Amino acid sequence: MALKSSENDKRVGWFCAYTPVELIEAAGLRPVRLFGDGADSDEANALLHPATCPYLRACLAAAQRESGPHMLVFANSCDGMRRLHDAWKHFLKPDFCFLLDLPRRVDWAGVGLYHRDLLRLREDLESLTGRAITPGALRRAVSDWEATRRELRDSADGLEGVERVRRAVALQEEGLAWKPGDARGAAPQSGRQGRTSGVPVVVTGNIVRADGLLSLMEEAGCRLVAADICSGDRFFQDLGLNEAELEGLGVDGMLRRLAERYLARIPCPRMVDSRRRHEHLLETVRRTGARGVIYVSIKFCDAFIYDFPRLRAALDAASIPVLMLESDYSDQHEGQLLTRIEAFLEIIGDSMAAGRGQV
Amino acid sequence: MGLAEDLRDKFKNDLSPELLRSRLLWRTARRLARSRWNKPDWRADIVSLSFFLDRTERAFTGKGTVVWANLLFPPELIHAVGACAFYPEMASAVVASLGLAPRFLDEAAAAGFTRDTCSFHRTALGAAAGGFYPAPEMLFSASYPCDSASHTLNYLAEKLGAEYVGLDVPAHPDPVTLDILAGQFEEAALRLGARMGKRESQVLEGLREALVRSNQARSLLLDIGALRRERPCPLSGRELPGQLSMISAAFGTEDGVRFFQMLRDQIVERRGAPSAAAQEERTRLLWMHLRPYYPNGLADWLEERGARVVCDEFALCTWEELDPDDPYLSLARKVAGHFLVGPADRRARAMAALARDYQVDGAVHFNHWGCRQSCAGAPLVRSHLQNEGVPTLILEGDCVDEREYQEGQMRTRLEGFLESL
Ligand code: SF4
Ligand code: SF4
């Protein structure tokens, strides 16, 4: 495979939080997460069925309109993502297009399969760039990414809601070029710390746009004390790896470690073990003193559709009120959504005042 | 009137979980199955009917350990230990054919499942929650063909208090990943075996026998595939009897061998005297994904126009002969080698090869609402087929929810397509 995109364009687009950015970095390339532009995605209809995740369709539509990036790593995280890879590869013919297999189990089999695919990715990246990935380069990339994630966490300490998510998104879009002040669309350094008044709420879900639904929630009167979303707080987790731990390991051994650590993170709803995720969410609600949970599921996302009834049962059992919202990613039905959020806040405000938890 | 209609008329209104466990229902079903009125066009259907009646009765009346699995999970592994395999997706097709799906779909909606997911699974969720499907001991899912199956079975395992084992099938099969899948099969078989009180040696012996029978059925299925390639095609999609469900559920059993043997023999008999519809064969079609299971007139309507489905995506043998001495790796190869595993160009290439082999004039991709894996891949499959000169129609619909069926619209689209061929 030859590197056709401009020599200066080292961007490799990625989509799913299980993508090992460290490995892409170690190949001398620049991992950037794609979010689409939130604009109309109708032009993707001919390539990807309209009843497919609107986030994926937005990414595809943006690629149909723009020119890059031309190198992409897709994770095989769901049927929709796999088909996005297929359509992109077949119809848009990028220079590099890799489908990284992603198991649902996190035991020996899951780690084994994921590790195997990291090795495959390594081989393909090496033949793309014509350079071997050395243990030193990988170790450096792991440690740089760990440090940057920690830096993100520190810089966002005390920051809530939209501002916090913007910062996480900036890191995902910028990669290691990110600086603590970065946040696209963020208020200039005015000392604003996100919304600090309002009804404390935890938002959980998949890909929620900061400038769409999250802003709307704040507008409605939520104080978003945690954003347990794929593009938000989940990105604040580091892997817990340090250079000393990787010392003496070859690339293969380091990739095994990466496989173990990525799979050991708080699972996303596509994984087999949803209970851990639910426990984590309950713990977040308790820790933050939130009065309720807003669950945002992107339309047509099977993982979240199947997760919700179970999560709701867990929340009901703990007397935590929950509101389920469905997002089409462009979040254009603002009025309707705003009314629902306001009604929810009113109820949880009242019920808490009356000492009841259930809505 | 067929057996399904008889049963529906007798029991539809007061169908309840208790009724499904009652002797009366199963006695009646068996009586109807044996009655002289039950003369299916294809003799093999008697075998498939008795196979499913027997297993379902055992499952409902507590005479067997019930194991649920999804479409690509190998039935050989379940039969090897003598458990009752239950395939909820297929059960949903039966439920739809009896006109009962809307009721369960509504129950699934009430439990919080939006209609944006596959109705095969929503029907299963509604039916299982209401106690209409037999209680499982274990549930297995292979991670293909779709995410919906893994999510449904995982959810139901928790709901029904049973053990769930999800198997990760590698998108890129190679010796390393196949070995890992084989290990998962071994673990699954031993876990199930332990529940059934079987020692490892007994599990292995069971597997050996199941794989031998599976190979016998396989070679018969290959014969049937070769016969369907002839002109006119001696077995059209409309007549495709219990074949689809037998491929998913009966490989590895004696009944599976008998079924495919009888079917093959009868097709051979009929070659010399083609049916009226076969004689009228003008347009040969490849059908991708499935068809509506509720009563509808689409298949007859197509045949009346001389259009015959000569090849069905799900009625194929997609795997090499299994090695009874190396069961786990064999099953791993069988599953991971399926064209629905991994990227869609695998499926597209397989469909293009079928179109050539069966000399079809056109292809229809039935877009079952909510089936991400197939609908989202349809434009790519069509593009491959059209590059090979095979015109392809994408038809939107729902295989299970009869309320979404608009025959008029479908006919108009098909009519236009047939004319263009
Ligand atoms: S949001 Fe859901 S459908 Fe979309 S990419 Fe993530 S898992 Fe897949
Ligand atoms: S129709 Fe699609 S989503 Fe539904 S069971 Fe079949 S493969 Fe899965």
Ordered structural domains, chain A, with CATH: 11-153+242-264 (3.40.50.11890), 175-236+269-353 (3.40.50.11900)
For chain A, say whether B152 makes contact (Cβ under 8 Å). Answer: yes
pLDDT of residue A352 exceeding 80: no
Which residue, judged by its Cα, is nearest atom 1 of ligand 2?
B371
Structure-block tokens of residue A344: 């929810």
The Cα B104–Cα B123 span in angstroms is 5
pLDDT in tens, chain B (421 residues): 466 666 666 666 678 888 888 887 888 888 877 776 677 888 898 898 888 888 888 888 888 899 999 999 999 999 999 999 999 999 999 889 888 899 999 999 999 898 999 999 999 999 998 899 999 999 999 999 999 999 999 999 999 999 999 999 999 999 999 999 999 999 999 999 999 999 999 999 999 999 999 999 999 999 999 999 999 999 988 887 677 888 889 999 999 999 999 999 999 998 888 888 888 999 999 999 999 999 899 999 999 999 999 999 999 999 999 999 999 999 999 999 999 999 999 999 999 999 999 999 999 999 999 999 999 999 999 999 999 999 999 999 999 999 999 989 999 999 999 999 9
The Cα A298–Cα A272 span in angstroms is 20
Q: What pLDDT does residue B241 have?
A: 63
Q: What pLDDT does residue A356 have?
A: 41
Q: In DSSP terms, which residues pair with B397 in a beta bridge? A: B368
pLDDT tens column, A146-158: 999 999 989 888 8
| Residues 6+ positions from A153 with CB-CB distance below 8 Å | A236, A238
Domains of chain B: 1-39 (no CATH), 40-420 (3.40.50.11900)
CB contact under 8 A, B147 and A79: yes
pLDDT of residue A235 exceeding 90: no
The Cα B377–Cα B395 span in angstroms is 13
Q: Which residue of A has its CA nearest to B118?
A: A302
**Separation in Å, CA of B155 to nearest CA in chain A:** 7
The Cα B180–Cα B184 span in angstroms is 6
Question: Where does B81-199 have alpha helices with state H?
Answer: 88-97, 101-110, 119-129, 147-160, 175-195
CB of B281 closer than 8 Å to CB of B239? no
CB of A218 closer than 8 Å to CB of A340? no
The Cα B182–Cα B323 span in angstroms is 13
B399 CA closest ligand 2 atom index: 1
Q: What pLDDT does residue B321 have?
A: 98
Summarize the confidence of residues A195-205 as an average pLDDT.
87
The Cα A79–Cα B368 span in angstroms is 14
Q: Which residue of A has its CA nearest to B159?
A: A310
For chain B, say whether A194 makes contact (Cβ under 8 Å). Answer: no
B120 Cβ below 6 A of ligand 2: yes
Which residue, judged by its Cα, is nearest atom 7 of ligand 1?
A78
pLDDT tens column, A315-350: 999 999 999 999 989 887 778 889 999 999 999 986
In angstroms, the Cα distances linking B118 to B125, B149, B263, B266 are: 11, 9, 31, 35
Sheet with B362-368, strands from edge to edge, namely: B307-312, B283-288, B362-368, B392-397
Q: Tell me, what amino acid is at A104? A: R
Q: What pLDDT does residue A103 have?
A: 97
| Residues 6+ positions from B276 with CB-CB distance below 8 Å | none
The Cα A320–Cα A314 span in angstroms is 9
Q: Determine which helix (DSSP H) or strand (DSSP E) holds B248, and give its type and residue range.
A: helix B243-249
| Residues 6+ positions from B65 with CB-CB distance below 8 Å | B82, B83, B84, B137, B195, B196
Structure-block tokens of residue A352: 């808490």
CA of A81 to the centre of ligand 1 (A): 7
What residue ranges line ligand 1, CB within 6 angstroms? A 53, 55-56, 77-78, 80-81, 206-207, 270, 298, 301, 303
| B:41-60 residues touching chain A, CB 8 A cutoff | none
The Cα A101–Cα A75 span in angstroms is 6
- Residue from B72, B169, B339, B372 to probe the interface with A (highest A Cβ count within 10 Å): B372
The Cα A79–Cα A102 span in angstroms is 12
Q: What is the largest CA-CA distance in chain B?
A: 61
Q: In DSSP terms, which residues pair with B68 in a beta bridge? A: B86, B139
Q: In DSSP terms, which residues pair with A222 in a beta bridge? A: A199
Report CA B409 to chain centroid distance, whole Å.
Answer: 26
The Cα A233–Cα A223 span in angstroms is 15
The Cα B417–Cα B421 span in angstroms is 7
Helix then strand count (H, E) for chain A reads 12, 8
pLDDT of residue A250 exceeding 50: yes
B146 CA closest ligand 2 atom index: 8
Q: What pLDDT does residue A3 have?
A: 43
More confident residue, A85 or B271: A85
How many alpha carbons lie under 13 Å from residue B269 in its C-beta half-sphere?
A: 8
CB of A212 closer than 8 Å to CB of A197? no
CB of B140 closer than 8 Å to CB of B69? yes
Q: What pLDDT does residue A274 have?
A: 83
Counting ligands in written order, the one closest to the CA of B375 is 2
pLDDT of residue A359 exceeding 90: no
| B:162-201 residues touching chain A, CB 8 A cutoff | 164, 166, 168, 170-172, 174, 176-177, 180-181, 183-184
- Residues in chain A with CB shorter than 8 Å from the CB of B368 are none
Summarize the confidence of residues A263-268 as an average pLDDT.
92
CB contact under 8 A, A99 and B171: yes
Which residue, judged by its Cα, is nearest atom 2 of ligand 1?
A301
CB of A54 closer than 8 Å to CB of A296? no
The Cα B175–Cα A155 span in angstroms is 46
Question: Which backbone phi and psi does B360 adopt, to 5 degrees?
Answer: -85, 155
Q: Which residue of A has its CA nearest to B142?
A: A104
Three-state SS at A264 = helix
Counting ligands in written order, the one closest to the CA of B293 is 2
CA of B175 to the centre of ligand 1 (A): 30
- Residues in chain A with CB shorter than 8 Å from the CB of B143 are 103-104
CB of A235 closer than 8 Å to CB of A149? yes
Structure-block tokens of residue A358: 């259930």
CA B135-B141-B143 angle, to 5 degrees, is 160
* Per-state percent for chain B, helix, strand, coil, to nearest 5: 55, 10, 35
Count of positions (residues) in chain A: 359
Counting ligands in written order, the one closest to the CA of B120 is 2
- Write the residue in A90, A103, A272 that is nearest to B154 by C-beta: A272
CB of A267 closer than 8 Å to CB of A276? yes
pLDDT tens column, A87-107: 999 999 999 999 999 999 999
Q: Which residue of B has its CA nearest to A57?
A: B376
pLDDT of residue A186 exceeding 90: no
